[in-house]
Structure 1
Amino acid sequence: MSSDDGSEYEYEYESDYGGSQQEDGEEEMIDETAVKIENTFYEADDCKNSDPTRALQLFLQVISLQHENAKDKDHTKYQFMSLENIVKLCANLCKPDEMIQHYKEMLLLLPNVTRNECTDSINSILDVVSGLSSSIISTMYEITLEALKNANNDRLWFQTNIKLGKLYLELGDYAPLHKVLEELHASCKLPDGTDDMTKATSLLDVYCLEIQLCTATNNAAKMKTIYPKTLVLDAAISDPRIMGVIREEGGKLYLSEGQWNLAYNEFFESFRNYQEVGNARAKQCLKYVVLANMLASSDINPFDSREAKVFKDVEEINAMLLLRAAYDAKDIKQFEKILKNPKNQIISDPLMKKCARTYLEPLLRSIRSHVIQKLVGPYKCVLISNIAEEMNITSGDVELLMVELIKDGQLFYKIDQPNGVLYNCDHIMPKESSYKTLEALELWTKNLNALNSAVQSRTGSNKVSW
């Protein structure tokens, strides 16, 4: 009895011991594999910049180890992060097919990671592939958007579409951009087709992108219908990141229409929004503020504001201030010198370069008009060639300006085009036969001056004025 009990007890003990040994062995094997996965990942991470080919092999090894150890759910993050790195390395090593394949694998793991991890990884990958061919970019975005729909991640789906739209805008690929905008707008509408005002922030993103498209395609008519909607949304929910862009585009619209005061207001609001969020566009937009301010002939000094004072000592902005000072002084030579100096980065600005004739010509014409009025004021008649020489422009340009000034009632003179002379209307223009007399008188005056000089040199007497 005693031995039987002992045997029975021993048998049961051995059975339990054997089972426990097997489980411990499995756990030990899992732990060893987990450690190997972690070590391999960090080894790959360390050399991904110095030796991308080796890093790619090591990251692939992590994936292989994770597949062998499928029961270990705690190390899925290393699999996800490895796939993210593999996709980026394949993009940099020009392996598009492998890149797409591994990206699809990574997207299958979205349910196993947090939304923040998902957002960061996808955005960083899409940034990396943005330099590849348009067909590969389109494929990557299509894969991403489909996966996000299946994962019910509407927020990231929307932001990814916005990112795609901005990329199409940058590339100048407007046909697919229209399609993206349609999908985005549809996601922000109520069943009756009206805008869902509970999605005001998203609507601002969509309208911002659409307004930039209108500017790029010169579709002013459509922009005029969209722009007021953005101002209503801005009143509901202010987003300086978006409104900075929208107000800048509004300023460009009013600038193109010659509505200088409205352009000034829009550019200044854009500048303030950019400044609020620390956007580098603030400096550039302040240059547009000064430009619109000059075009409007406004007495308002934009640098009286607290936001603008910060930029007073910036070289490019100081150049705009000097330009404004030259404009106020009607100093045409200084104005053109500042304008054409490449260090000032005025004429090289994309907006100025694209529409230099539209935006800068009014300023030059305004200054030249004042200079002409100042030059001809004291005289009854003036040679057009003399005015042209003084202003450093052609006689033809002078004539065109004079015609405009005469039509506008700012200059009461008449142009004798054949002889290139400008006459004050208070004096009668001489007849054709009188020109010979004028020429003789001019020759006689020159001879008298020459004689006077000769006499002066001999006698040392004071010069006589003729």
Structure 2
Amino acid sequence: MSIYLYDDDDYGLEYSEDSTSEPDVDLENQYYLAKTIKEENLEHAALAFQKVLDLQGEAKGEWGFKSLKQLVKINYQLKNYKETIAKYKELLSYINNAVTKNHGEKSINSILDFTSTSKNIEMLQKFYETTLEALKKAQNDRLWFKTNTKLGKVFLERHEYSRLATIIRELKQSCKYSECDNDPHKGTQLLEIYALEIQMYTEQKNNKKLKELYEKSLRVRSAIPHPLIMSVIRECGGKMHLRSGDYEDAYTDFFEAFKNYDESGNPRRVTCLKYLILTSMLMKSSINPFDSQEAKPYKNDPEIRAMTDLIQAFQTNDMEVFEKIFRENRESFMADPFVREHIAELLKHVRTIVLLNLIRPYSKIKISFISKELGISEEDVEDLLVMAILDNHIHGRLDQVNKILVKGLETCNERYLAMESVANRLNDLSFTIMQERRSYALRNDYYSCMRFKPVHYAVWKENGTCIVAKPLINKALWEPIDRAHSQSGDSSRNNTRTRDCCYCYHVAGRRAMLKT
């Protein structure tokens, strides 16, 4: 038996604005007869709706439009995609003059929503491109925006990011919004564009652009978005935060995304709940996500049962059960690309926690024993121990020859610190010596020139230190100096002070004294 779908045309009739005639009784009767047949047999119903078009003839009217709408949906259900596109093109020719603008827009939206769940991406692309071509003449901005958004989702699904970027630019040009703008319609449209662009950057793992856009989306205040739009933004934000190690922010975003998906009745809520559980384990939280009122109804959901058991084993530190659940559900965990991306990190976190609890009472412990207790290979145990030692979770050393972990090497650490202190002092001493050598080299530069002009100087020295230096023209110049020192009562002058003759050379503009 075929599935009967509720149709907007079942209630109320709309006619073109310039129509004043009653609907044709024969067309009306044939249309409702076809609707009755549709409940029993889709193929027979298609023939009955086609008869409405035949009775209508050349004149395009309301009953022909409704029949075409039904034919599009029936052919889509029968997977006659070629005929679906053909009937849809025929229907689009009615929207300019055969039906009112509102009725035409409502019907096209209904068809686009009806077909949007299709897995046939090529057919969807053809659908949206055909719609956009027809809308060039109709000048329906709302329908143009919605169709372009849906086409963008198709390109996202097909990973055609260059074509998606082109559509995003066109959508942004049509929606000129500023943060001071209070128009809720524009704000909502902008969030739809951001949601599409954020998904693109998430797929490309472009965290820099993603973070910038994510923060912009949270600053849009005037919008009244559908919960589904906010759930997409929050989910992508959670992925961004988790990839950068911001576990708490990731947890908040995934929880908000889950609530929005749940509110809109979207099945992706289960997937988002999986991400929430994954984040909870990575952040080593003792809080069970299923303790919240929103998540509690899904605790025993078959799709999420494995994750529920996994977090219970994690919180009880039961590594054996954890590994068993993971092995039994490995394919289902690995089927999700995002979970697969973080599963290695999760296993490392869990195994490290159990490892640290296991080795706590021991000073020495065999790697084979740890391997048996954790249920993993010795190579994996060694990797965990190395990482734990490097992260300072374990103070000790790994004896890879005897396959033993030796703990409690604080004294060795003190010795290494003392050696480091000595090395630092030697380094300081070396630096001081180098500075002295540089200073000595600079003083020697004064004597290195080949050309100099000699001037005869008399120098008075005290204990080898120069205290008077006068140009020596004749010996008489010494007499005033001698008398000055005699009058000062310095009787030890001859013993402690000496006179020397020096040559002073002007070298490169500087004066240097050499003892003669």
Q: Please indicate the TM-score interval, normalised by the length of the shorter structure.
A: 0.7 to 0.9
2:265 to 258, 275, 278: 278
Task: Identify if the C-alpha distance between structure 1 residues 184 and 383 changes in structure 2 by more than 3 Å, giving closer, same or farther.
Answer: same
d(CA) in 2 for partners of 1:294, 1:136: 41
d(CA) in 1 for partners of 2:196, 2:101: 25
- The residue number in structure 2 matching 1:64 is 54
- The residue number in structure 2 matching 1:287 is 274
d(CA) in 1 for partners of 2:404, 2:41: 78
d(CA) in 2 for partners of 1:253, 1:271: 16
Return the letter of the residue paired with 1:323. L
- The residue number in structure 2 matching 1:414 is 397
Task: Tell whether 2:69 aligns with 1:84.
Answer: yes
d(CA) in 2 for partners of 1:288, 1:82: 45
Structure 1 unaligned residues grouped into runs of 5+: 1-29, 430-466
Return the letter of the residue paired with 1:326. A
2:89 to 61, 81, 104: 104
Return the letter of the residue paired with 1:277. S
Task: Tell whether 2:373 aligns with 1:390.
Answer: yes
User: Is the 1:211–1:226 contact (alpha carbons within 8 Å) kept by the matching residues of 2?
Assistant: yes
- The residue number in structure 2 matching 1:34 is 24
| 1:31-90 Cα distance to aligned partner (Å, 9 max, x none) | 9x933322332333344576555544443332232226x4xx8xx221101222334455
Return the letter of the residue paired with 1:184. L
Alignment of 1:52-451 (within 5 A): 54-67=44-57, 70=59, 76-89=61-74, 92=78, 94=80, 96=82, 99-110=84-95, 111-115=97-101, 117-126=103-112, 127-128=114-115, 131=118, 137-189=124-176, 198=183, 199-233=186-220, 236-237=223-224, 239-317=226-304, 319-342=306-329, 346-353=333-340, 355=341, 359-425=342-408
Task: Identify if the C-alpha distance between structure 1 residues 264 and 347 changes in structure 2 by more than 3 Å, giving closer, same or farther.
Answer: same
SS at match of 1:307: coil
- The residue number in structure 2 matching 1:44 is 34
Question: Quick check: which one's helix share is greater?
Answer: 1
User: Is the 2:355–2:370 contact (alpha carbons within 8 Å) kept by the matching residues of 1?
Assistant: yes
d(CA) in 2 for partners of 1:362, 1:416: 25
Return the letter of the residue paired with 1:45. K
User: Is the 1:56–1:86 contact (alpha carbons within 8 Å) kept by the matching residues of 2?
Assistant: yes
| 1:366-422 Cα distance to aligned partner (Å, 9 max, x none) | 232233333333334322122212212111111111111112222122222122122
d(CA) in 2 for partners of 1:382, 1:239: 58
Task: Identify if the C-alpha distance between structure 1 residues 235 and 421 changes in structure 2 by more than 3 Å, giving closer, same or farther.
Answer: farther
Return the letter of the residue paired with 2:267. A
d(CA) in 2 for partners of 1:272, 1:350: 22
d(CA) in 1 for partners of 2:359, 2:310: 25
User: Is the 1:268–1:289 contact (alpha carbons within 8 Å) kept by the matching residues of 2?
Assistant: yes
d(CA) in 2 for partners of 1:269, 1:130: 24
Equivalent residues, number:
387
Alignment of 1:454-465 (within 5 A): none
d(CA) in 1 for partners of 2:167, 2:293: 40
d(CA) in 1 for partners of 2:313, 2:361: 23
Task: Identify if the C-alpha distance between structure 1 residues 324 and 142 changes in structure 2 by more than 3 Å, giving closer, same or farther.
Answer: closer
SS at match of 2:406: strand
| 1:349-381 Cα distance to aligned partner (Å, 9 max, x none) | 45313x1xxx23333222322333333333343
SS at match of 2:285: coil
d(CA) in 2 for partners of 1:228, 1:56: 50
Task: Identify if the C-alpha distance between structure 1 residues 258 and 93 changes in structure 2 by more than 3 Å, giving closer, same or farther.
Answer: closer
User: Is the 1:158–1:184 contact (alpha carbons within 8 Å) kept by the matching residues of 2?
Assistant: yes
d(CA) in 2 for partners of 1:374, 1:45: 69
d(CA) in 2 for partners of 1:195, 1:62: 53
Return the letter of the residue paired with 2:158. L
Structure index of larger Rg = 2
What is the alpha-carbon root mean square deviation over aligned residues? 3.4
State the shift of 1:253 in Å. 0.8
State the shift of 1:265 in Å. 1.2
Return the letter of the residue paired with 1:202. Q
User: Is the 1:369–1:401 contact (alpha carbons within 8 Å) kept by the matching residues of 2?
Assistant: yes
SS at match of 2:266: coil
Task: Identify if the C-alpha distance between structure 1 residues 413 and 188 changes in structure 2 by more than 3 Å, giving closer, same or farther.
Answer: same
State the shift of 1:268 in Å. 1.3
User: Is the 2:179–2:220 contact (alpha carbons within 8 Å) kept by the matching residues of 1?
Assistant: no
Task: Identify if the C-alpha distance between structure 1 residues 331 and 51 changes in structure 2 by more than 3 Å, giving closer, same or farther.
Answer: closer
| 1:148-168 Cα distance to aligned partner (Å, 9 max, x none) | 342232112211111222222
User: Is the 1:189–1:196 contact (alpha carbons within 8 Å) kept by the matching residues of 2?
Assistant: no
SS at match of 2:134: helix
d(CA) in 2 for partners of 1:119, 1:408: 62
Task: Identify if the C-alpha distance between structure 1 residues 113 and 132 changes in structure 2 by more than 3 Å, giving closer, same or farther.
Answer: farther
User: Is the 1:87–1:100 contact (alpha carbons within 8 Å) kept by the matching residues of 2?
Assistant: yes
Task: Identify if the C-alpha distance between structure 1 residues 37 and 237 changes in structure 2 by more than 3 Å, giving closer, same or farther.
Answer: closer
d(CA) in 1 for partners of 2:63, 2:357: 78
d(CA) in 2 for partners of 1:48, 1:237: 38
SS at match of 2:220: helix
